Amino acid sequence: MAAKGAIRAGLSWAEFWASTPYQTRIVGEAWVDNRKLERNLTMTAAYMTARLGMADPKHFPDLQDFLGTDDQKPDVEQTPAEFSAKFLHWAMQHGLKPDDGANS
């Protein structure tokens, strides 16, 4: 079973057999973390797409305004909650209405 998980995580047979159980576990944990990150990014994109679909067309932001510039980076790492709060603030400034749960 360990070999199957290690191969799924990207190790070759040679790497698996040359690794200690600890190293194999670290690779597996990193793989799980990456899968969670990919899932969260996909779900965030789906959520944002749905939210943007509810925007008032009269107040819809220009694409370049929405995308920003490539050199825009947060000063510090943001938690998902901080990102959501900042996005909600931005969205409300651009005519999106906050979800009150009534449409769910």
Contacts of 83 (CB under 8 A, 6+ apart): none
How would residue 16 be classed by pLDDT, with cut points 50, 70 and 90?
confident
CA-based nearest residue to 19, from 6, 5, 33? 6
> Domain span at residue 76?
56-98
Q: Is residue 14 assigned to a domain?
A: yes
Q: Supply the pLDDT for residue 81.
A: 77
CB 97 within 8 A of CB 54: yes
- Convert the pLDDT of each residue in 84-95 to its tens digit: 777 777 777 766
CB 16 within 8 A of CB 7: yes
Confidence of residue 96 (pLDDT cuts 50, 70, 90): low
- Note the pLDDT tens digit of each residue in 33-68: 888 888 888 888 888 888 777 777 777 767 677 666
For residues 64 and 48, is the Cβ–Cβ distance under 8 A? no
* Cα–Cα distance measured from residue 3 to residue 71, given in angstroms and rounded to the nearest whole number: 42
Q: How many domains does the chain have?
A: 2
Find tokens 């825009």 and name the residue. Answer: 72
Within a domain: 27: yes
